[in-house]
Amino acid sequence: MPTLVVIGTGGLARGLCYALATITRTPLDVVVVGRTQERAAEVCYVGAARAALADAPVAFHARTADLSSDDALADLLSRLSPVGLFLAASSQSPWERTTAPSAWTSLVRHAGFGLTLPFQAELALCAGRALAAVRPAAWFVNACFPDAVNPVLAAMGVPVLCGVGNVGLLAASLQAALGLPDQRRLRVLAHHVHLHKPDDGDADEAMAWLEGEPVTEVGKLLAAQRAADRSELNHVTGLSAATLVLGLLSGAETHTSLPGPLGLPGGYPVRLTGARLELRLPDGLALEDAVAFNQRCAIRDGVVVDGERVRFTGPTHPELDLPTDFPVAELHQVTGQLHQLRAQLRDRPPFL
């Protein structure tokens, strides 16, 4: 029986596990790894109860680990021998702006979500290195800001297959809006920033093609998704991720759009046959042009990862005493500086 390791106990990890509990039709062991046993056990209880009700052959097991330790994760992954690892945890919660507003969350809003890249990448680097060391044949799906983190992983030599969410959520939303049975005829090119409507009317909007022809008024088709509460979106992304995972496990062919495929920046239409991934760009669109589109959109998100360099692109602010353009190899030092800055600003009230 194959084993899937899911690192994380937040909304997306739950969305994935709860979807797997209802749509899986072949035996599967899911190991949920969290920072606390209580949180991991809670996810497993709900998943197991749903699986029982759905008569799905899925078993859930709770584990804890030091998520900041390569050695601890390598030891755990060596013992579990998973066929794949799904990462849905980082050191920066997307909910902090609403649950604990502070000068730090104000700074992130001012500078752009891309400012949190170091926090999104540090656990991904740790988990990816650990998996590659003990299970080099296993696939790695990173759900933490994959539009920018996956290019960092690629630059650091850490194998990553793809991400989930972002362009995948937009593709699912367009599939629903267009009344399509699947995404075989739909191709979407979009970045994490397109989860929200562009502020500038002349800014690049997400791009989509149906049967090879451009889809018009994409923004209007995405209006329902953009108006929905973010917590609700995990129900869509979780099911989309579960469908992807089951395709990876079964070897089935999957047509969809995914962020960070093979370490590329932004999101692209892809075809997977099991864990073999290929881009399926529309005719006439060269890869370099698709990448350039995503990098142009990344500027609005606050960070661009271009090869082996990271560039923060958000507005400057007196509190933001960080290098704005640096080699990926120096990310660890920048992450340390950002940890110190965040600790200081969390003690101050919001300024925006």
Q: State pLDDT tens for residues 328-348.
A: 999 999 999 999 999 999 999
Query: In the chain, pLDDT over 70 holds for what percent of residues?
Result: 99
pLDDT tens for 51-64 read 999 999 999 999 99
In a 13 Å sphere around the CA of 128, the CA atoms on its Cβ side amount to 30
Looking at the structure, do residues 14 and 58 belong to the same domain, yes or no? yes
Q: Which residues lie closer than 8 Å to 26 by C-beta, 6 or more apart?
A: 57, 249, 250
Q: Which of 274, 300, 326 is the last residue of a domain?
A: 300
Looking at the structure, do residues 16 and 134 belong to the same domain, yes or no? yes
Rg (CA), the chain: 19
Looking at the structure, do residues 234 and 295 belong to the same domain, yes or no? yes
Instruction: Give the per-residue pLDDT at 95.
Output: 86
Q: Which of 134, 155, 176 is the last residue of a domain?
A: 155
Query: Does 307 fall in a domain?
Result: no
Looking at the structure, do residues 211 and 246 belong to the same domain, yes or no? yes
Looking at the structure, do residues 180 and 149 belong to the same domain, yes or no? no
Q: Which residues lie closer than 8 Å to 87 by C-beta, 6 or more apart?
A: 7, 8, 123, 124, 127, 128, 140, 141, 142, 143, 144
Looking at the structure, do residues 182 and 226 belong to the same domain, yes or no? yes
Per-residue pLDDT, averaged over 98-109, amounts to 93
Looking at the structure, do residues 105 and 171 belong to the same domain, yes or no? no
Query: Does 340 fall in a domain?
Result: no
Query: Does 216 fall in a domain?
Result: yes
Per-residue pLDDT, averaged over 24-48, amounts to 97
Query: Does 312 fall in a domain?
Result: no
Query: Does 259 fall in a domain?
Result: yes
Looking at the structure, do residues 132 and 173 belong to the same domain, yes or no? no
Looking at the structure, do residues 112 and 239 belong to the same domain, yes or no? no
Report whether pLDDT(201) > 80: no
Q: Which of 260, 282, 300 is the last residue of a domain?
A: 300
**CB-CB contact of 308 with 155 (8 Å):** yes
Looking at the structure, do residues 10 and 144 belong to the same domain, yes or no? yes
Query: Does 68 fall in a domain?
Result: yes
Q: How confident is the model at residue 202 (pLDDT cuts 50, 70, 90)?
A: low
pLDDT tens for 246-282 read 999 999 999 999 999 999 999 999 999 999 999 999 9
Instruction: Give the per-residue pLDDT at 267.
Output: 98
User: The domain spanning residue 281 has which CATH number?
Assistant: 3.90.110
Looking at the structure, do residues 146 and 182 belong to the same domain, yes or no? no
Average pLDDT, the chain: 95
Q: Is the dihedral of CA 171, 172, 177, 179 positive or negative?
A: positive
For residue 65, the cross-strand partners are none
**CA 79 – CA 130 distance, rounded (Å):** 12
**CB-CB contact of 181 with 156 (8 Å):** no
User: The domain spanning residue 46 has which CATH number?
Assistant: 3.40.50.720
Report whether pLDDT(352) > 80: no
Instruction: Give the per-residue pLDDT at 98.
Output: 87
- What is the domain count for the chain? 2
The helix (run of H) or strand (run of E) holding residue 268 is: strand 267-273
Query: Does 136 fall in a domain?
Result: yes
Query: Does 161 fall in a domain?
Result: no
Q: Which domain holds residue 234?
A: 167-300
Looking at the structure, do residues 150 and 98 belong to the same domain, yes or no? yes
3-state secondary structure of 97: helix
